[in-house]
Chains A and B, each alone.
Chain A
Amino acid sequence: MFAALGFGSTHDALDAEQLLGDLGITVVPIPAPKTLGALCGIALRIELADEQRANAYLEAAGIGVTARTSIEDV
């Protein structure tokens, strides 16, 4: 299982990808799953075990996660 994080813009998603990657969290851009809502852009896939830490980093950096869902794989 993974967490898929959705963002309000591609810009925010890339800021998040760079931030989390720099902090040692494995991040994989994926097509935004439909379960995230009406998003046509990208989402970021991270390990469930990293999600709490990732959310804390993103919040501290002012990058808002607009939606999240759990996925099996992609």
Chain B
Amino acid sequence: MSTPSSTQGHAGDASSGPAATTIYLDHGATSWPKPTPVVDAVHEALTVYGGNPGRGAYRLAMATTRLIHESRRDVAAFLGVPHSRDLLFQPGCTEAMNLVLRGLLSPGDRVVACSMEHNAVARPLHALAALGVELVVVQADDTGTVDADEVERAVAEAPTRAVVCQHASNLTGAIQPVADLGDIAHGHGALLLVDGAQAGGHLDIDLSTLGADAWACSGHKGLLGPQGIGVVYLSAEVDPTPLVLGGTGGGSSESEGAPTVRPDRYEAGTPNTPGIAGLGAAARYLAVHAAEQRVTERRLVRKLHEGILEIGGFRVLGPEPTEVRVPVLAITHERIDADRLAFALDRNHGIAARAGLHCAPWAHRTLGTIDTGALRFGVGFGNTDQHIDAVLDALAALTRELS
């Protein structure tokens, strides 16, 4: 067994650089490390909870069934979902948003979306547009924030089935006015469908009052669970057509279609028990520690933001340092390409950050960085002041070396 290393086989390797990633700042892609209870819960799921949940009444299967039930209850409670049966486990936010969009929208429908959407939303919308869904995209401003008034104008122009918007940007960290968008959508008889991938865990979310008819989230980002698990909340007002059909364990097996009851309707096939167990443990951890964690994240991302501006030569995408954002920060440099910076940070300084388009070409086009990409830092669980100090020192050094 080997451990990951980031220093193998490239002509640009620095002989004096660290042998592996020592500072992880890509929490926008996935959080790492995980809280110990999450790791323990995944291990326990694999070593103790061996039965197939919902597929038998013998005690081993029932123990696993109860584990899933308890995890659903705890994740639902953390997110403010009133009835836990409305909180569905999915393989990830991408699958969840596919269910929401492709399960609810039909040819002839009109949908209003924000120009900052991730490809988990943009690509399903493109596919739906090809089938005859009318797609209207509202441009966000230069911080990546959509103006609720502009969305209302777009919705008011013609009968609209849904407003689709991210909760927060994976590029700029901008937080969208989701509650206002809910009021606007509902005021015009439309649904509000939200991609919460970058919001879960980083923001205090109460889905009982947010106004979203559907809200999806990755389990492995700010929610601190394992990869391969995500969630979607569906209000009682929506009933997307299931995209996956198959065995669901309980209920009537003789019906030809999907069950009508939740969560079974949207959870065909054997569930990801280790992932769900880990996510349940993460929710219990966050129920105690999230408030403190958010304070730390906001302080660190602001420190990073202000420090980068002091170095000079950088443009920081998104809101001003004093504004609340989710803890991602993307930058460009006036002379050094983002990919060069990312590579040098990794190889020479052991710092993990992500360059490119971040699966968000709409967002980069909105901000004028579609041709250059950007370098994105994601701050999260486990990061410290020392990490930010080290990144700022490294960026200052690299601007001297690479300019």
Given A13-B250, A39-B250, A39-B253; A8-B261 close (CB under 8 Å): yes
Residues of A close to B251: CB separation below 8 A: 8-10, 39-41
Residues of A close to B53: CB separation below 8 A: 10
B66 touches A14 (CB 8 A): yes
Interface 0/1 of B34-74, CB less than 8 Å to A: 00000000000000000001101100001001100100100
A14 touches B69 (CB 8 A): yes
Residues of B close to A49: CB separation below 8 A: none
A50 at the B interface (CB under 8 A): no
B69 touches A11 (CB 8 A): yes
From the candidates A9, A32, A37, A38, name the one contacting B85 in the complex (CB within 8 A): A9
Q: Report the separation of the CA atoms of residues A42 and B252 in the bound assembly, to the nearest whole angstrom.
A: 11
Given A9-B250, A11-B69; A42-B62 close (CB under 8 Å): yes
Q: Report the separation of the CA atoms of residues A43 and B65 in the bound assembly, to the nearest whole angstrom.
A: 13
From the candidates B66, B250, B263, name the one contacting A41 in the complex (CB within 8 A): B250
The A-B contact count (CB < 8 A) is: 67
Residues of A close to B264: CB separation below 8 A: 9-11
Identify the interface centre among A29, A32, A38, A40: most chain B CB within 10 Å of its CB.
A40
A12 at the B interface (CB under 8 A): yes
Residues of A close to B84: CB separation below 8 A: 11
Q: Report the separation of the CA atoms of residues A30 and B259 in the bound assembly, to the nearest whole angstrom.
A: 21
B254 at the A interface (CB under 8 A): yes
Residues of B close to A10: CB separation below 8 A: 53-54, 65, 69, 249-251, 264
Q: Report the separation of the CA atoms of residues A11 and B65 in the bound assembly, to the nearest whole angstrom.
A: 9
Given A40-B250, A40-B253; A9-B262 close (CB under 8 Å): yes
CB nearest neighbor in A for B58 = A31
Residues of B close to A7: CB separation below 8 A: 250
Q: How large is the interface on B (under 10, 10 to 19, 20 to 34, 35 or more residues)?
A: 20 to 34
Label chain B's interface by main secondary structure: loop
Interface 0/1 of A11-55, CB less than 8 Å to B: 111110000000000000111100001111111000000000000
A40 to chain B, nearest CB (A): 4
A4 to chain B, nearest CB (A): 11
A18 to chain B, nearest CB (A): 8
A29 touches B259 (CB 8 A): no
Identify the interface centre among B66, B250, B253: most chain A CB within 10 Å of its CB.
B250
A42 touches B250 (CB 8 A): yes
CB nearest neighbor in A for B259 = A9
CB nearest neighbor in A for B255 = A38
Given A9-B85, A11-B85; A29-B57 close (CB under 8 Å): yes
CB nearest neighbor in B for A74 = B57
Q: Report the separation of the CA atoms of residues A43 and B62 in the bound assembly, to the nearest whole angstrom.
A: 12
Q: Report the separation of the CA atoms of residues A16 and B79 in the bound assembly, to the nearest whole angstrom.
A: 23
Residues of A close to B54: CB separation below 8 A: 10, 41-42
B261 touches A12 (CB 8 A): yes
Residues of B close to A11: CB separation below 8 A: 69, 72, 84-85, 250, 261-264
Residues of B close to A13: CB separation below 8 A: 250
19 contacts between A and B (CB under 8 A): A7-B250, A9-B264, A10-B249, A10-B250, A11-B261, A11-B263, A14-B69, A15-B69, A31-B57, A38-B254, A39-B250, A39-B253, A40-B250, A40-B253, A41-B54, A41-B251, A42-B54, A42-B57, A43-B57
Q: Give 4 new A-B contacts, CB below 8 A, not counting A8-B251, A11-B262, A43-B57.
A: A10-B53, A10-B251, A14-B66, A39-B253
Report the 5 A-B pairs with minimum CB-CB distance, sorted nearest first.
Answer: A41-B250, A10-B250, A38-B254, A10-B54, A31-B57
